[in-house]
Chain A
Amino acid sequence: MPLSGGWIAVLQGNVLYRAATNHKGRFPPLSVPITPSSSDELLVSAAQQGNEAALVELINRHQTLLLAVARAIVGATHAEDTVQEAWLSVYRCLATFEGRSSFKTWVVRIVSNEAKTRLRRDSRLVSVDESEFEQPDTDTQNFNARGHWSNPPTRWSNESPDALLEEQQLQRCINKTLNVLPERQKAAFLLRDLEHQPLEDIAELLGISNANVRVLLHRARLTLMQVVNHYQETGQC
């Protein structure tokens, strides 16, 4: 299975080797055991040759994102089943995956399609909470009647994300908040701010409008900003 950059993956026993296609036979193959730092391409091609450890690693690596996408569409109760079903499709069709998109894009799409199919079959799956799509109230107490700041944002001791990341307690606060974000906000946040997907693709994946993706993202980010604000003021969550 050819890989980008002139490398081929060679499977021997349970270890995946990487060999340069242009130096075939001249240098011993570079051994690349399956680790959390192996690329998806390498893992996919090993999995296609029947390497189970590679498939396990792909699942470990992408499960969180897939569950988030499924929860956003069918709700928390049915998300696990949906993702399991999607992995079954992956397991059965892996040989047909040609790498025209990234593996992650491919598998997220499979989960989204599986979730939407379930939703069509049973529209009771998701309690429709449309209030999440309303523009968040920007606190009236922060602005005067003309819409100017009456309570402007306060200084943070440091605004650099890397410096903020050093604060263990703040990390815990952010973690806590991420774990309780509403499903759709969480998925929008992951797809945009972690995976850097275009808004249009996120809308398509989640089956909502571009405008609604924007609202979800804004809500999620405002909540996260308020966590940092609160931490700056009190040192607590």
Chain B
Amino acid sequence: MLNCREITQQASAYLDNRDEPERKPDLQFRLHLMLCRHCRRFIRQLHSARVLAAKVQSEQQRTEQGDQTLARLKRRN
């Protein structure tokens, strides 16, 4: 039986597997989550944090370096 510390260590791997339906579900892991509300909360919060951070990052992905980069390319080509 996995303990809570092990659950937190494998939490990211669990989230990544959960995203890919063809991977088989980790029964031991899910059994623990059914029985342990602290670990359920941990997983929910880890998931929320990564989705939140991805949204924050996506708003600043865009740069304005295109003109400058292209100018350098044309000088070298």
Bound together, the chains give a CA A189 to CA B56 distance in angstroms of 13
Bound together, the chains give a CA A56 to CA B64 distance in angstroms of 9
Q: A138, B53: Cβ atoms under 8 Å?
A: no
A180: CB under 8 A from chain B?
A: no
B5: CB under 8 A from chain A?
A: yes
Chain B residue nearest to A137 (CB atoms) is B9
**Which A residues touch B24, using CB under 8 A?**
none
Q: A228, B73: Cβ atoms under 8 Å?
A: no
Given known pairs A84-B72, A147-B6, A148-B4, the reply for A60 and B58 (CB within 8 Å) is no
Chain A residue nearest to B59 (CB atoms) is A171
Contact of A161 among B12, B19, B48, B72 (CB under 8 A): B48
Proximity string of chain B (26-40) to chain A, C-beta cutoff 8 Å, 1 when within and 0 when not: 000000000000110
**Which B residues touch A148, using CB under 8 A?**
3-5
Interface size class of B (residues with CB under 8 A): 35 or more
**Which A residues touch B56, using CB under 8 A?**
165, 171, 174-175, 178
Q: B5, A225: Cβ atoms under 8 Å?
A: no
Contact of A193 among B53, B60, B69, B76 (CB under 8 A): B53
Given known pairs A59-B70, A91-B73, A175-B60, the reply for A194 and B54 (CB within 8 Å) is yes
Given known pairs A55-B66, A87-B69, the reply for A143 and B4 (CB within 8 Å) is yes
Contact of A56 among B20, B42, B70 (CB under 8 A): B70
CB under 8 Å from chain A, chain B span 40-72: 41-42, 44-46, 48-58, 60-67, 69-70, 72
Bound together, the chains give a CA A225 to CA B75 distance in angstroms of 45
Interface size class of A (residues with CB under 8 A): 35 or more
Given known pairs A138-B9, A147-B3, A148-B3, the reply for A64 and B55 (CB within 8 Å) is no
**Which A residues touch B45, using CB under 8 A?**
153, 156, 159, 225, 228-229
Contact of A153 among B42, B57, B70 (CB under 8 A): B42
Contact of A217 among B16, B52, B57 (CB under 8 A): B16
Q: Which residues of A line the B interface, CB within 8 A? A: 36, 52, 55-61, 63-65, 84, 87-88, 91-92, 135, 138, 142-143, 146-149, 152-153, 155-156, 159-162, 164-165, 170-171, 174-175, 177-178, 189-190, 192-194, 196, 198-199, 214, 217-218, 221-222, 224-225, 227-229
Q: Which residues of B line the A interface, CB within 8 A? A: 3-6, 8-9, 11-13, 16, 19-20, 38-39, 41-42, 44-46, 48-58, 60-67, 69-70, 72-73, 76-77
